[in-house]
Amino acid sequence: MEAYFLPTDKLAEWTAHLSKFGKIYRYEAMEQGARLEMPAAENYGNYPFPAVRAAEPAKFLFMKARRKVSEYFNPKWQKIDVMDEPRVVIGLKGCDLAAIKTWDNVFRDDPDFKDPFYIEARENTLLVGADCTDICETCCCNLLGNKPYPNDGEYDLSMSPVDGGFAIFVGSDKGKRALAGLGLTSVPPDIKSIEARRAMLVKKLEEQNAKFRTNAPYRELVEKHPDSKAWLKNGSTCVSCAACTYVCPTCFCFQLYDKPSKSGNFERFIALDSCQYQRFSFMAGGLNPRGRLEDKFMHRYNHKFFHYHWRYDIYACTGCGRCIENCMGKIDLRKTLKDIEGA
């Protein structure tokens, strides 16, 4: 793996260099937590590096909450001309990078269904990952096979703090081209300190989540225990607010709807939706196969840990812990899965 040293005093130059690829978006540490910002050029050299992932998921960079996708009967929409501005997203933590891979499977790499809007946004984005330097109380990426640092193959470039600056890792040809002409030192100093910090955080995660670790894989738990009393026990405080799916970096449920346009044609829109809403699973004739709150609650786990794994061989959960952090009913995904095994 190619690695370079970026001194702190060259951070502004490096960021300006990346801006040649596209508009700069950067996760920055703030008093209320990490947030996605669009820094002005004069602030490129001042980077408040976030210790942990942001409260909001990265998915809204690739799919708008609502977007027009066609208009009929309008011949101009017979061929969709997708234009999405190039951009660079700096500071993506491992859980969000793993989540983008989840979306890639559905909207880009599936041989039968491809979303031109997602593909355009994805290909026009340079992904710059970043190590975590701490963990949240709800972080559980280790339980899902992820790490508190970017996984190989999920980023174009990645940065890890070291004494005096950052180690920059190259993860793709796109990332290598983005660095061309910058003249960074090819060997980062003190690479062992990165490995030590990573190992320390993994150990911290293991200790934090030890009581939630299950003996059986999650797919087996949700597939073989549909009648477990743990579903009702843990889901009884759910109020169907859908906060869990909104902040989830992997949830991608959507709806398509039509409305008349001012020109007399009809417009079709795609809008992000949630399986936790009462009317999400309504069928013709008013039937609802998941009418009970317990059924909706169970469905979310089934999708993430059985159906998605069955189709793509990975879980649709990266262990970011946002759903636990934002749940009005104080539901802990880790505890739910552990209780299913013990029920």
List average pLDDT for each run of 10 residues in the chain, which is 343 residues long. Answer: 91 96 95 93 96 94 88 77 85 97 94 90 96 97 96 95 94 94 80 94 98 96 94 93 94 91 88 84 76 86 96 96 96 97 80
Query: What was the pLDDT predicted at 263?
Result: 82
Q: What is the pTM of this model?
A: 0.92
Q: What is the pLDDT of residue 284?
A: 78
Instruction: Tell me if 324 sits within 8 A of 208, measured CB to CB.
Output: no
Question: Looking at the DSSP assignment, which residues form a beta bridge with residue 254?
Answer: 272
What confidence score (pLDDT) does residue 120 get?
92
Token pair belonging to 289: 């196969």
Closest CA to 215 of 129, 67, 341: 341
The pLDDT of residue 189: 65
- Which two tokens mark 55? 């409260």
Measure the CA–CA gap between 94 and 264, rounded to whole angstroms. 47
